[in-house]
């Protein structure tokens, strides 16, 4: 049994038009975690070990999507943000996260069908581990892989500036290349990794000390997705992380990382 519960409510509206289309959404999420496990945060271990009180967080936010058909191609815009309030064990919790993305699908290259994207994301970190407030944005129950296929980072105490180029030379083939500039939002907080609550006896996130540094890594990755048939697809992925000062302080002799995989998916 996983002693975690959550509730979600939202309101969504469409803004249709001949050349412009938009969508807005407002949402709220309540998250309650009463597992008797050690929390991961920037407080000293001796302090954290005595705090087994529940986590209760309300997250409130929204997004806006906009698509415009122009003579040079389709232009897209995404704005997303939320704020958090509640209790982090014995501490008050206040966190926030926001993201902005833009994309352009040029009309002049029909054989390649390119899609150029860029964006910025930032989530709050905790600047003072010794006060009575937990200021690190908490990613509730994420699915990290679609957004970080080399999953050494997530949305917790994170700043991400990225660019992407997607090519679709065939209806069954998608090629993608991305560059991410990754930093910690607050140098006094931790470098967090994980996917949230998934078992009763561990918290779901781990944290490594930043040594007062912010630069995490520059990630370069490429992938190919091939739909062999309506039920079968193959994915090839390779990513290279050029470690920066945070990773250098933890792994002084080998701050870089490489990750790749071949995946076969069969749908029944």
CA dist list (Å): 54 to 120, 147, 192: 32, 29, 20
DSSP code, position 250? H
Q: What is the pLDDT of residue 255?
A: 95
The tokens 């005595």 sit on which residue? 50
Q: What is the pLDDT of residue 1?
A: 81
- In sign, the C-alpha dihedral spanning 35, 36, 37, 41 is positive
Q: What is the pLDDT of residue 144?
A: 66
Q: What is the pLDDT of residue 213?
A: 96
Rounded CA-CA distance 253/249 in Å is: 9
Q: What is the pLDDT of residue 18?
A: 84
CATH of span 4-266? 2.40.160.100
| Ranges of each domain in the chain | 4-266
Rounded CA-CA distance 128/55 in Å is: 19
Rounded CA-CA distance 115/29 in Å is: 32
Extract the residue ranges of the chain whose pLDDT is less than 50.
Answer: none
Q: What is the pLDDT of residue 17?
A: 84
DSSP code, position 248? H
The percent of the chain in helix, strand and coil, each rounded to the nearest 5, is: 5, 60, 40
- pTM of structure: 0.92
């Amino acid at each position: 049994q996983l002693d975690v519960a959550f509730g979600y409510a939202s309101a969504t509206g469409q803004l249709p038009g001949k050349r412009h289309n938009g969508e807005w959404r407002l949402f709220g999420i309540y998250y309650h975690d009463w597992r008797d496990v050690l929390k991961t945060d920037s407080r000293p271990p001796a302090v954290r070990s005595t705090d087994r009180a529940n986590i209760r967080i309300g997250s409130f936010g929204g997004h806006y999507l906009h698509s415009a058909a122009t003579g040079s191609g389709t232009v897209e815009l995404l704005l997303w943000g939320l704020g958090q309030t509640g209790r982090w064990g014995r501490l008050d919790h206040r966190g926030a996260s926001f993201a902005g993305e833009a994309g352009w699908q040029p009309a002049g290259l029909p054989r390649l069908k390119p899609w150029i994207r860029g964006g910025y994301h930032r989530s709050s970190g905790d600047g003072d581990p010794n006060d009575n407030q937990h200021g690190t944005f908490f990613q509730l129950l994420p699915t990290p892989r679609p957004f970080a296929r080399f999953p050494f980072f997530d949305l917790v105490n994170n700043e991400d500036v990225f660019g992407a180029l997607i090519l679709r030379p065939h209806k069954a083939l998608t090629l993608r290349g991305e560059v991410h500039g990754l930093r910690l939002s607050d140098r006094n907080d931790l470098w967090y990794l994980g996917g949230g609550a998934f078992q009763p006896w561990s918290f779901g996130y781990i944290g490594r000390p930043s040594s007062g540094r912010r630069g995490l890594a520059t990630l370069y990755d490429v992938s190919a997705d091939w739909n062999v048939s309506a039920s079968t697809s193959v994915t090839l992925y390779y990513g290279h992380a050029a470690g920066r000062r945070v990773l250098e302080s933890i792994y002084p002799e080998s701050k870089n990382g490489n990750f790749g995989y071949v995946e076969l998916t069969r749908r029944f």
